[in-house]
Homo-oligomer: A and B are copies of this chain.
Amino acid sequence: MAQEIEQQNGAASFAALKPQVVVPAGKADEAVQFYKAAFGAEELKRVNHAKRKADQETPLILCAELKIGSASLLVCDQTDDSSPVAGKEGGSGIVFRLETENVEGALAKAVKAGASQEGEITEEEAQEGSCCGGVLGKVKDPFGVAWIIASAAKVAAVEA
């Protein structure tokens, strides 16, 4: 009942906010090693970019999930898809990933409040061991901060 009312209002509750560091392509593994050494980060999972698996020696990292204390930090290689969050002048970019069961509602609410939607809502590639299957949309807020609103990771669904 409460959930029903929430959805009518276009509201969404967020299961997680995960900051995502997007580093220049090919640097993500180095970044993961650095965060382990510098902050004692623990690597929970890593998903490589499918397109590079076959033809590249070092695959791009679509998403590595680290744990620092009790918090999640995602580290990703920059790809064509990550352009809205790309850092300037070859640097790193940061985007906040919000996970929710109601991606459309959350996006609509953010846009109504003044965020600009970037591109269409897409279905993330669900890959072996993926952290990233599900629906995903991107917005930029009025202060220039990039947000990804995505359905919560469903690792189990990938195995089907």
Contacts and interface: CB of A to CB of B under 8 A. Distances in A.
Interface of A: 11-17, 19, 21, 23, 27, 30-31, 34-35, 37-40, 68-71, 73, 87-88, 91-92, 94, 96, 98, 106, 109-110, 112-115, 141-145
Nearest to A94: B94
Contacts of A21: 143, 145
B144 A114 contact: no
Contacts of A143: 21, 23, 27, 31, 34, 91-92
Given A38-B113, A113-B38, A17 B71 contact: yes
Given A37-B113, A113-B37, A113-B38, A145 B94 contact: yes
